[in-house]
Amino acid sequence: MSDFAVVGSILAAMFAAATPLLFAALGELVVEKSGVLNLGVEGMMLVGAVCGFAVTVQTGSATAGFVVAALAGAATGSLFAVLTLFLLANQVATGLALTLFGVGLSALIGQGFVGIPLEGLPKLNIPGLSDLPVVGQALFGQDVMVYLAIAAVPLVHLFLYRSRAGLVLRAVGENHTAAHALGYKVLRIRFLAVMFGGAMAGLGGAFLSMDYTPMWAENMTSGRGWIALALVVFATWKPVRVMLGAWLFGGVTILQLHVQGMGIDVPSQLLSMLPYLATVLVLVMISRDVARIRLNAPACLGKLFHPDA
Please report, as residue ranges, which positions from 181 to 200 form the binding site for other proteins (by CB under 8 A).
181-184
Secondary structure letter of residue 216 according to DSSP: B
Of 44-52, 66-74, 252-260, 286-294, which segment contacts other proteins by CB under 8 A?
286-294
Q: Which of 262, 285, 290, 309 binds other proteins (CB under 8 A)?
A: 290
Q: What is the largest CA-CA distance in the chain?
A: 67
Least separation in angstroms between CB 294 and other proteins: 6
CB 190, min distance to other proteins, A: 16
Residue type, 120: G
Residue 151 CA: distances (Å) to CA of 79, 156, 240, 244: 28, 9, 11, 14
CB within 8 A of 242, min separation 6: which ones?
A: 22, 25, 26, 29, 153, 231, 232, 235
CA dist 17 and 167 (Å) reads 32
Write down how long the chain is. 309
Q: Which is nearer to other proteins, 5 or 158 (CB)?
A: 158
With binding defined as CB under 8 A, does residue 294 bind other proteins?
yes
Q: Is 262 among the residues that bind other proteins (CB under 8 A)?
A: no
Tell me if 178 contacts other proteins by CB under 8 A.
yes
Assess 291 for contact with other proteins (CB under 8 A): yes
Strand partners, 216: 114
Cα–Cα dist 136/129, whole Å = 6
The one among 157, 170, 224, 238 contacting other proteins by CB under 8 A: 170
- Out of 26, 138, 179, 228, point to the residue binding other proteins (CB under 8 A): 179
Window contacting other proteins (CB under 8 A); options: 5-13, 179-187, 204-212, 268-276:
179-187
Q: Applying CB under 8 A, does 309 fall inside the site for other proteins? A: no
Query: Which residue among 6, 167, 266, 273 contacts other proteins (CB under 8 A)?
Result: 167
Residue 145 CA to residue 20 CA, distance in Å, equals: 9
User: What count of Cα atoms within 13 Å lies in the side-chain half-sphere of residue 268?
Assistant: 6
> Cα(11)–Cα(136) distance, rounded to whole angstroms?
10
Which one-letter DSSP state was computed for residue 266? S
Instruction: Determine the size of the site formed for other proteins (CB under 8 A).
Output: 20
Q: What is the closest distance, in whole angstroms, from the C-beta atom of residue 307 to other proteins in the complex?
A: 10
Single residue of 177, 213, 222, 268 touching other proteins by CB under 8 A: 177
The yes or no reply on residue 175 touching other proteins (CB under 8 A) is yes
Chain residues binding other proteins by CB under 8 A are 164, 167-168, 170-171, 174-175, 177-179, 181-184, 290-291, 294-296, 299
